[in-house]
Structure formats: structure tokens, C-alpha cells
């Protein structure tokens, strides 16, 4: 018998069809999807613009590594110039968020010649060895010999930043801790972090894999605090659901990896076509502005839940919401699913909502009503 490994457990739902913010089960029942495949479908399931881009790319050329030139590379870099923060960047594409984190760490090690990394308590950066080593949750790290060169500092605690020093190659931070419980970084904390990192001569890696690409009301969540990153890591939504991730670094950081890095599928034309389609959708629909307005509305609605006995607190930034509950979050997720809403857990006791940008006010209202039913008693 061949069985599929389901590392996250099985949610008892056979998804038969998906379109934009909805999925349908095999009996034809519709669900509002606020899980969106761990946030990958922020631009909607099967967004037609992105599907069309990938199909037509595959009809011309589906394999072309960066050792060769092909037209889609120029299109992708030209469009990235419209969404990356101002100034020069060198970009490299990978296939998953964790792989892009690995590449960012490797670039920082090679570029600075230093070894240690600063990461934050509550932070999440992926499950491969390097990415896991900078991920805080001991539950994910147990029984794995993670690398030991990592210093974890308390998140949002300016007083601890003085410990960043000349032994550190890089600091890696999420602008909103997603998996850790939907905890936004305070703007003042990020600004002090930028200062302390520069003073130590280390590189600031901002992990935008979950919060980036419009979700928080800004194209990149760290832009809300006015800081600049040395390296931006992106993934999940940038390809509209196609598996692709990206490292953008200030020159010459990535140049130091010449001859030292490679990836068979990294930057393949289909992934680049998906990114081109993703950027077109982002810009043409003013996705960050939509996410900002709808996210503020969502947070307002969630605040109505704060008086309920099973709710500890609510928080969020843009279309990234968290409800800290006094009940096993798995039970709340099951209850929501029964009511036609799919959400996702974060941290130990947080129900996380990751709505796609085209979610409507009615959708959000319905989800909050469902939540009331699940945490109201
Ligand atoms: C902030 C952050 N970084 C990295 C990752 C890892 O991405 P992937 O699962 O695509 O490897 C995730 C995934 O949830 C994430 O949220």
C-alpha cells in the first residue's frame, strides 16, 4: 500500500474544486477558505490571470535555468522593479520558503565571513535544517540536530538588541510572526533592530514569506515601519499558489555565492511566469490597499469577540488575523469547518485567519459569526 504522509494531520475534508476565496468538497458544499494552503493562495485559488500566464509559458518553454537566458527572466526582473523597495537588488528564485531562508543565511555567512545568527523567540522560518535552526518552537526542533550558532532574543524587546555583535553574520526577523501566533513587530522595535544590526556590521534578513506581497496593507510588511532590509525573503503568495520563493538582496551580497549555490528548479520559467502573473494581479487590483481596508474591517469585527469568555485577545495586521482562545484551537477549527469556514492554527492557542485579498465584507462577517458560534460558550 502506498500512503501519503500528512505531517500536519488530516482535516477530514476532500477538496474537489477551488476558485478564488472558496473551495468545494466532494458533495458540492462550499467553504470560505481562510487557510489558503498555509497562506499560499492569498491571490485566490486558480486566479485566472496567473493560470493563463503559467499555461502560456508552458506552451512555449517550461525548462530554462539561469545558466541560460529566456524572455520570462527579463519580464520577471522588470516587474519586480515595480514591487521591490527602491534601489538596486539582485534576486534569486527557489522553490519553497524554507529553501529561500537557507539561501539567505548562506549568503550572509559567505558575505560577512561570520558564523552566528540572531533569531527571535516565537519566530518561524521553515523546516529544513538551516531554517529549522532559526525557528524558535522547540516542538518543531525536537530530535533534530539543529545547528548551534543561533542566539534567540525576545521579540519586540528593544533592551535585548545590544547583544547583537561582531560575531553575528545576520539577524533574521518576521515583520509579523505568523506561525508564532500572529504577532506584529512593533515599528519602534524594527527601527532599533535595523540600527543595532547595522552597528554590528551584520545583515538584516526580513522574512516576508507569510506577511509579504500585499497581505498587511503594504507590499512588504516591514515597509510599515520605514526600515530597509539587506535581504528580503518571499514565498507563499508571490506565485499565486505556484511553488516559488525568492531572495532579494542588496548587491553584491548574492554575487559572493557564484559557484557556491544552485537549484535544479530554482527560477524555472513556469515559476517565473507565475510570479509575473502574481505581480500583475497585485498591481492591477491594488492588492495592498484592498488588504489594508479589509484587514482593518476584519480587526474591527474580531474586536467584538474580545468579551467572549473563551477569547483571550485578538490581533492582526491587514489580512492576517489571530484569535487567542481559551479552548483547544483544533476544536475551534473543527467547529468552524462544520460551519463552512476553513482556518488554520498558529502558536499553541491561536486561531489564524489568512483571507485571500478578494474576500468580501459578507465573507468576513460570516466568518466572524461562525467564530462567535465556536468560541461563544
Ligand atoms: C515566515 C515564514 N518563513 C518561512 C516559511 C517556510 O516556508 P515553506 O513552508 O514554503 O518552506 C514559512 C511557512 O509557513 C513562514 O511562515
Measured CA to CA, the distance from residue 111 to residue 104 in angstroms comes to 10
216 and 291 share one domain: no
Looking at 236, 262, 284, the residue that finishes a domain is 284
Q: For 149-191, what is each residue's pLDDT tens digit?
A: 999 999 999 999 999 999 999 999 999 999 999 999 999 999 9
β-pair type (311-316, 15-19): unpaired
> In the predicted model, is pLDDT for residue 14 greater than 90?
yes
Clarify whether residues 291 and 276 are in a common domain: no
97 lines ligand 1 (CB under 6 A): yes
pLDDT at 282: 98
31-85 pLDDT per residue, tens: 999 999 999 999 999 999 999 999 999 999 999 999 999 999 999 999 999 999 9
At 237 the pLDDT is: 97
Percentage with pLDDT > 90 across the chain: 99
Is the per-residue pLDDT at 225 higher than 70?
Answer: yes
User: Does any domain span residue 1?
Assistant: no
Per-residue pLDDT at 6 exceeds 80: yes
126 lines ligand 1 (CB under 6 A): yes
Residues spanned by the domain of 124: 48-284
pLDDT tens for each residue of 16-45: 999 999 999 999 999 999 999 999 999 999
Same domain (yes/no): 62, 162? yes
Q: Is 305 in the pocket of ligand 1 (CB under 6 A)?
A: no
Interatomic CA distance for residues 265 and 96, integer angstroms: 11
> Atom 13 in ligand 1: which residue has the minimum CA distance?
126
Do 197 and 122 share a structural domain?
yes
Which of 268, 284, 300 delimits the end of a domain?
284
What distance in Å separates the CA atoms of residue 371 and residue 377, rounded to the nearest whole number? 11
Task: Give yes or no for residue 377 having a pLDDT over 80.
Answer: no
Grid cell locating 57: 509559458
Statement to judge: residues 247 and 151 lie in one domain: yes
115-151 residue pLDDT tens = 999 999 999 999 999 999 999 999 999 999 999 999 9
Does ligand 1 come within 6 angstroms of the Cβ of 101? yes
| Residue 7, domain member (yes or no) | no
Q: State mean pLDDT over 204-209.
A: 99
Percent of the chain with pLDDT over 70: 100
Domain boundary among 284, 301, 319: 284
Is 211 within 8 Å of 248 (Cβ atoms)?
A: no
- Kind and range of the H or E run holding 204: strand 203-207
| C-alpha–C-alpha distance, residues 264 and 127, integer Å | 20
Take atom 16 of ligand 1 and give the residue whose Cα is closest: 210
The pTM score is: 0.98
Whether 259 and 290 share a structural domain:
no
| pLDDT-based confidence at residue 376 (cuts at 50, 70, 90) | confident
Same domain, 296 and 272: no
Q: Please tell me if the CB atom of residue 333 comes closer than 6 angstroms to any atom of ligand 1.
A: no
Q: List CB contacts of 178: < 8 A, sequence separation 6 or more.
A: 39, 124, 210, 211, 320, 346, 352
Asked if the model's pLDDT at residue 10 lies above 90, the reply is yes
Residue 10 C-alpha cell reads as 488530516
Residue 373 CA to ligand 1 center (angstroms) comes to 31
CA atoms of 184 and 295, how far apart (whole Å): 13
Split at pLDDT 50, 70, 90, the class of 266 is: very high
Number of separate domains in the chain: 2
User: What's the mean pLDDT when you consider all of the chain?
Assistant: 97
Q: Is the distance from the beta carbon of residue 273 to the nearest atom of ligand 1 less than 6 Å?
A: no
Amino acid at each position: 500500500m502506498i500512503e501519503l504522509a500528512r505531517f500536519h494531520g488530516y482535516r477530514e475534508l476532500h477538496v474537489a474544486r477551488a476558485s478564488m476565496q472558496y473551495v468545494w468538497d466532494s458533495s458540492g458544499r462550499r467553504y470560505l477558505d481562510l487557510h489558503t494552503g498555509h497562506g499560499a493562495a492569498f491571490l485566490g485559488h486558480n486566479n485566472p490571470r496567473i493560470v493563463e500566464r503559467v499555461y502560456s509559458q508552458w506552451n512555449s518553454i517550461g525548462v530554462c535555468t539561469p545558466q541560460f537566458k529566456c524572455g520570462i527572466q527579463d519580464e520577471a526582473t522588470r516587474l519586480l522593479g515595480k514591487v521591490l523597495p527602491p534601489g538596486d537588488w539582485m534576486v534569486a528564485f527557489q522553490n519553497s520558503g524554507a529553501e529561500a531562508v537557507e539561501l539567505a543565511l548562506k549568503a550572509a555567512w559567505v558575505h560577512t565571513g561570520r558564523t552566528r545568527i540572531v533569531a527571535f523567540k516565537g519566530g518561524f522560518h521553515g523546516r529544513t535544517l538551516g531554517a529549522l535552526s532559526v525557528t524558535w518552537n522547540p516542538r518543531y526542533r525536537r530530535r533534530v540536530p539543529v545547528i548551534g550558532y543561533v542566539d534567540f532574543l525576545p521579540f519586540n524587546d528593544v533592551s535585548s538588541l545590544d547583544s547583537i555583535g561582531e560575531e553575528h553574520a545576520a539577524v533574521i526577523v518576521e515583520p509579523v510572526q505568523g506561525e508564532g501566533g500572529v504577532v506584529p513587530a512593533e515599528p519602534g522595535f524594527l527601527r532599533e533592530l535595523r540600527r543595532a544590526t547595522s552597528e554590528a556590521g551584520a545583515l538584516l534578513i526580513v522574512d516576508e514569506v507569510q506577511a509579504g506581497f500585499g497581505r498587511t496593507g503594504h507590499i512588504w510588511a516591514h515597509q510599515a515601519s520605514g526600515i530597509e532590509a539587506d535581504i528580503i525573503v518571499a514565498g507563499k503568495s508571490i506565485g499565486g499558489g505556484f511553488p516559488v520563493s525568492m531572495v532579494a538582496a542588496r548587491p553584491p551580497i548574492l554575487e559572493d555565492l557564484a559557484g557556491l549555490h544552485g537549484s535544479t528548479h530554482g527560477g524555472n520559467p513556469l515559476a517565473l511566469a507565475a510570479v509575473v502573473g502574481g505581480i500583475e494581479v497585485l498591481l492591477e487590483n491594488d492588492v495592498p490597499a484592498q488588504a489594508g481596508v479589509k484587514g482593518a474591517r476584519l480587526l474591527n469585527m474580531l474586536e467584538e469577540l474580545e468579551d467572549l469568555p473563551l477569547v483571550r485577545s485578538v490581533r492582526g495586521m491587514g489580512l492576517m488575523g489571530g484569535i487567542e482562545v481559551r479552548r483547544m484551537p483544533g476544536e475551534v477549527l473543527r467547529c468552524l469547518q462544520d460551519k463552512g469556514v476553513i482556518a488554520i492554527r498558529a502558536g499553541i492557542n491561536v486561531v489564524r485567519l489568512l483571507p485571500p485579498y478578494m474576500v468580501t465584507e459578507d465573507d468576513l462577517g460570516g466568518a466572524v459569526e461562525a467564530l462567535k458560534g465556536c468560541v461563544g460558550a
